[in-house]
Amino acid sequence: MPIVLLVVLGALAADPPLLQPSSYLPQAQAALQAGIDAIAEILGAGYPVTHRQLENRGWDDTDFMWFVAGTINSFGYQVKIVSVDDWNGEPHAFILVGIDLGDDGTAWIPVEADPSFLDSFWLLGAIPWADEGSMTLDSHYLSYDRVLEEVKVSPPDISLIVPGAPVIDSPAAITVIARGRSIIAYQWSIDGGDPITSISPSIWQTFTEAGEHTVSVTVIDELGGRAEAQGTFEVLEKRHQCHCSNP
């Protein structure tokens, strides 16, 4: 798979500190909780790409971690990958996500993206809480030996092609063209409806009402980069043919 744009940091780089959420000042707690909730939503089962799907593509644990890190970064968060030299006798890497607390700085929250550490293959990753339902982080994730990478992904370059002049009750093709990196998922929404996820760059849609319609698509690439596009088009009434004869 292509190499993500990375800023490689040496072992002597200024490492961000890791603190328990309760350590932050009261005025920072609302922003911190909102950030934690947003990260959990990105990692949750509602995301259009899951570990299970990526495993079926032949990805290994490292591929998973890079994709998860890039995905979180694509939502606007600072993301670093850090490593521990001795984690039960073996090296282990995990992700740090920076939550902007305004004047109170940045809170760094760990994310585990190794499938063997997760409760479900339908997740992208998980914030490692000490106990389910608690706001105390597993202490194993509050220290590390070095920052390996700072992850920065760019969105894929896409163009949405809407139908030219579709008519009601006839299928119409909607296509998105993506350039550059390999695309792993497309998430479509018609007229603001529930999203439909596909691995195809085209969908066929039959409209039962004439008038203006909208389509939006989110394209997700192999590095976790995301791009969105939206278009509008007019669906026409069927033309009625006259079978009458002249007198």
Residue 242 binned pLDDT confidence (cut-offs 50, 70, 90) = low
Q: Do β-strands 202-206 and 90-100 pair in parallel, antiparallel, or remain unpaired? A: unpaired
Q: What is the pLDDT of residue 108?
A: 97
Q: What is the pLDDT of residue 50?
A: 78
Query: What are the chain's domains?
Result: 6-151 (no CATH), 157-235 (2.60.40.10)
Q: What is the pLDDT of residue 52?
A: 75
Cα separation, 51 vs 71, whole angstroms: 13
Q: Are 141 and 27 in contact, with CB atoms under 8 Å apart?
A: no
What's the chain's average pLDDT?
87
- Residue-wise pLDDT for 116-154, tens only, equals 777 777 788 999 999 888 899 999 999 999 999 999 999
Q: What is the pLDDT of residue 77?
A: 97
The mean per-residue pLDDT over the stretch 193-213 comes to 92
Q: What is the DSSP code (8-state) at residue 167?
A: B
Q: What is the pLDDT of residue 33?
A: 96
